[in-house]
Amino acid sequence: MNFILDNIFVVAIAVISGGALLWPALAPRGKRATPLQATQMINRGKSLVLDVRTSDEFAAGHLRDAKNIPLADLSNRIGELEKSKSRTVIVVCQNGARADKAVRQLQAAGFEDAHALEGGQAAWVAAGLPVTK
């Protein structure tokens, strides 16, 4: 106990850094789909691929038939997706972080079956799956 009291700042730094390391694992995430699962959802039909990357990133290469709405514009343009509420939505970004935010926005707007592509466009390309420009 004396050690903790004598070294309170060191103990505090250790606790805070440990919490910072655990935060990403404990942060709430939406549903996720691996590239294989996303491919299966796309092949079944009745799915929408929503790419939330910037226009420049989208132009460099994207999944076939993907709709591009940058994450920064999603809250203003979510009405464009209203007719797709009953469909499975697969959200794609570059590495997966922006897609999680977009999935939470979509779920708040009433989209029940929204999934973030785990690993994003980078994982899709790494798996050797096709992209279009």
Question: Of 52, 50, 58, which is closest to residue 133 (Cα–Cα)?
Answer: 58
Question: 88 φ, ψ to 5°?
Answer: -75, 130
Rounded-to-integer distance, Cα 77 and Cα 29, Å: 22
Cβ atoms 37, 129 nearer than 8 A: no
Cβ atoms 41, 33 nearer than 8 A: yes
Q: Can 82 be counted among the known catalytic residues?
A: no
Q: Given 38, 93, 102, 114, which residue is catalytic?
A: 93
Strand partners, 89: 48, 114
Q: Where in the sequence numbering do the catalytic residues fall?
A: 93
